[in-house]
Amino acid sequence: MSDVVVIGGGVIGLTLAYELAGRGVAVTVLDQGPMGQESSWAGAGILPPGNPQQAVTPEARLRAHSHVLWPRLAEQLRTETGIDNGFRRCGGLEIREDGEPEQLDSEIEQWRTEGVDVERLDESGAIGHEPRLGRGLVAAYRLPQMGQVRNPRHLKALIAGCVARGVTLRPGCPVHSFVRLSSGSRVLAVRTLDGELFAGQFVIAGGAWSGRFLSELGCRTASVRPLRGQMALVSSLPPLIRHVVNVGSRYLVPRDDGRVLIGSTEEAVGFDKRNTADGVGELLAFGRRIVPALASATFERAWAGLRPQSPDGLPYLGAVPGASNLFVAAGHFRAGLQLSPITAVALTQLLLGEPTTVDVQPFRVDRERSGH
Ligand SMILES: Cc1cc2nc3c(=O)[nH]c(=O)nc-3n(C[C@H](O)[C@H](O)[C@H](O)COP(=O)(O)OP(=O)(O)OC[C@H]3O[C@@H](n4cnc5c(N)ncnc54)[C@H](O)[C@@H]3O)c2cc1C
């Protein structure tokens, strides 16, 4: 029997399993499909910076701790599995093509307050960093510490790392429900296609699918729903840009091999992962506008993933009220890749009954509901 059963083999469940196994815990990860092929695979892998000493909000603290953990995790995975997950600090540009020149001032101030390096740029400064940007920029800044990870490679590394650490991975094993004590206060097992699986503790890390469990468990305050994000991939050699380029919620992410990811849409269409002509067309038009030379790049492919969105956009990290051995790590929305290292550390500490590195109270499952 495992000490811990993790439901969901995305970046959250796999990083948690890897961390727990590193602490000597016997872990089983169950996924309804293949491991690591949902939102975590579909994402862009943008890792915004942070500074744990000066982060002010609970969310910024999570981001800042992850910022510190990412290089260590990448190195550890490379050592243990031989897989390079492509983590690097490529820097990021935030730009605007229209509106007031001052429109990014409050964001720049916020980064400074958080103790994160930020450079305000005018158009020529931005073009100095990325000569192929289109002209006519009205506002820009640069975050030299912005990072990225090649998430499909990272997932491969996590899967290999979990195997190396003795984690039992069971793809194609959907969890249907929980077997609970009649008082409801403890979960004894999960019901799967292959029968009941008993364990000491359980973690729901089911990404956009976690909402079903939360409502079945009677969590009235918590919910998670899918928000589709479409992505287009183009390539061009030699590489056209070096920085992640953000324009609000749209972005370009350059990989070292000349590929550029263009993302992403935000669509409330349920569990529908199809690409649409409109979605992909808009992304390609956006890419060409920001970097005109992308017009002659090769179109490789498009895909879509389902972001796990909570009402306030923040993850749920903690115990399910009333069930002492059932935990949730879900609802990371647009930030699950970046927040996965600190999520794994904090959940491991909670499961082992240790004080947590970051305060997880603001992320508790029964926090006041806002949004949706
Ligand atoms: C287009 C796009 C771009 C993104 N870009 C970024 C980015 O740049 N940076 C960033 O940090 N984040 C980004 N994200 C968000 C990020 O991908 C997610 O927050 C993160 O992947 C969530 O991880 P997860 O493990 O919770 O979910 P998932 O990766 O979706 O994994 C959940 C797993 O649970 C399994 N599961 C569900 N129900 C069951 C069940 N009943 N039984 C067994 N298994 C089950 C699923 O099959 C799935 O494999 C992006 C997302 C999208 C879609």
Same domain assignment for residues 72 and 191: yes
Mean pLDDT of 230-236: 98
- Report how far residue 149's alpha carbon sits from residue 90's, in angstroms, rounded to the nearest whole number: 10
CATH number of the domain where residue 23 is located: 3.50.50.60
**Nearest atom within ligand 1 for CA of residue 8:** 34
Cα–Cα–Cα angle for 60, 39, 255, rounded to 5 degrees: 80
Domain count along the chain: 2
Residue 282 lies in a domain: yes
Same domain assignment for residues 70 and 160: yes
Same domain assignment for residues 56 and 173: yes
pLDDT of residue 370: 64
Measured in angstroms, how far is the CA atom of residue 335 from the centroid of ligand 1?
10
Measured in angstroms, how far is the CA atom of residue 206 from the centroid of ligand 1?
8
pLDDT in tens, 136-192: 999 999 999 999 999 999 999 999 999 999 999 999 999 999 999 877 789 999 999
CATH number of the domain where residue 111 is located: 3.30.9.10
pLDDT of residue 221: 82
Quick one: 171 exposed, middle or buried, by C-beta within 10 A (0-12, 13-18, 19+)? middle
Measured in angstroms, how far is the CA atom of residue 11 from the centroid of ligand 1?
7
Report CA-CA distances (Å) from 289 to 20, 134, 160, 223: 45, 7, 40, 37
- Report how far residue 201's alpha carbon sits from residue 26's, in angstroms, rounded to the nearest whole number: 11
- Say which residue, 75 or 216, is predicted with more confidence: 75
pLDDT in tens, 123-148: 999 999 999 999 999 999 999 999 99
Residue 215 lies in a domain: yes
User: Could you tell which of 16, 28, 40, 327 is best to mutate to test the pocket of ligand 1, judged by most ligand atoms within 8 Å of the CB?
Assistant: 40
Is the CB of residue 48 below 6 angstroms from any atom belonging to ligand 1?
A: no
Residue 372 lies in a domain: no
Residue found by looking up tokens 């964001």 in the block? 107
- Report how far residue 306's alpha carbon sits from residue 259's, in angstroms, rounded to the nearest whole number: 22
pLDDT of residue 218: 85
1 confidence band (pLDDT: 50, 70, 90): confident
Mean pLDDT of 39-48: 98
335 touches 209 (CB < 8 A): no
**Nearest atom within ligand 1 for CA of residue 14:** 25
Calculate the average pLDDT of the chain.
Answer: 96
Token pair belonging to 217: 């468990």
Is pLDDT of 82 > 90? Answer: yes
Terminal-residue alpha carbon distance, the chain? 39
Backbone angles phi, psi at 188, to 5 degrees: -95, -35
Mean pLDDT of 303-309: 98
Mean pLDDT of 339-343: 98
Is the CB of residue 334 below 6 angstroms from any atom belonging to ligand 1?
A: yes
Which own/partner contact pairs does 190-196 have at CB distance under 8 Å and 24+ positions apart? Answer: 190/5, 190/7, 190/30, 192/30, 194/170
pLDDT of residue 371: 60
Cis peptide before 370 (omega within 30 of 0): no
Is the CB of residue 9 below 6 angstroms from any atom belonging to ligand 1?
A: yes
Same domain assignment for residues 191 and 175: yes
Measured in angstroms, how far is the CA atom of residue 123 from the centroid of ligand 1?
36
Same domain assignment for residues 129 and 168: no
pLDDT of residue 372: 57
Mean pLDDT of 298-319: 97
- Report how far residue 167's alpha carbon sits from residue 164's, in angstroms, rounded to the nearest whole number: 8
SS3 per-residue string spanning 132-178: CCCCCCCEEEEECCCEECCHHHHHHHHHHHHHHCCCEEECCCCEEEE
Residue 368 lies in a domain: no
Same domain assignment for residues 39 and 121: no
Last residue of a domain, one of 270, 290, 309: 309
Backbone angles phi, psi at 133, to 5 degrees: -65, 145
Residue 36 lies in a domain: yes
Residue 369 lies in a domain: no
How many alpha carbons lie under 13 Å from residue 296 in its C-beta half-sphere? 6
Residue found by looking up tokens 């540009």 in the block? 93
Highest mean pLDDT among 214-218, 219-223, 298-302 belongs to: 298-302
Is the CB of residue 335 below 6 angstroms from any atom belonging to ligand 1?
A: yes
Domain of 279 in residue numbering reads as 92-145+225-309
- Report how far residue 158's alpha carbon sits from residue 87's, in angstroms, rounded to the nearest whole number: 13
pLDDT of residue 201: 98
Measured in angstroms, how far is the CA atom of residue 9 from the centroid of ligand 1?
9
Token pair belonging to 222: 């918590």
Same domain assignment for residues 113 and 213: no
Residue found by looking up tokens 């998670």 in the block? 224
291 touches 132 (CB < 8 A): yes
For the ranges 254-258, 305-309, 365-369, which has the lowest average pLDDT?
365-369
Residue 118 lies in a domain: yes
Residue 289: CB partners within 8 Å, gap ≥ 6?
Answer: 97, 134
- Residue whose Cα lies nearest atom 22 of ligand 1: it is 336
- Say which residue, 372 or 255, is predicted with more confidence: 255
Same domain assignment for residues 50 and 118: no
pLDDT of residue 368: 78
Same domain assignment for residues 258 and 355: no
Same domain assignment for residues 105 and 240: yes
Residue 179 lies in a domain: yes
Is the CB of residue 11 below 6 angstroms from any atom belonging to ligand 1?
A: yes
Mean pLDDT of 337-358: 98
Same domain assignment for residues 75 and 160: yes
Is the CB of residue 307 below 6 angstroms from any atom belonging to ligand 1?
A: yes
Same domain assignment for residues 118 and 96: yes
pLDDT of residue 4: 98
- Report how far residue 367's alpha carbon sits from residue 169's, in angstroms, rounded to the nearest whole number: 32
For the ranges 102-111, 216-225, 229-238, 342-351, which has the lowest average pLDDT?
216-225
- Report how far residue 215's alpha carbon sits from residue 231's, in angstroms, rounded to the nearest whole number: 30
Is residue 342 classed as helix, strand or coil in its secondary structure? helix
Is pLDDT of 72 > 80? Answer: yes
Is pLDDT of 220 > 90? Answer: no
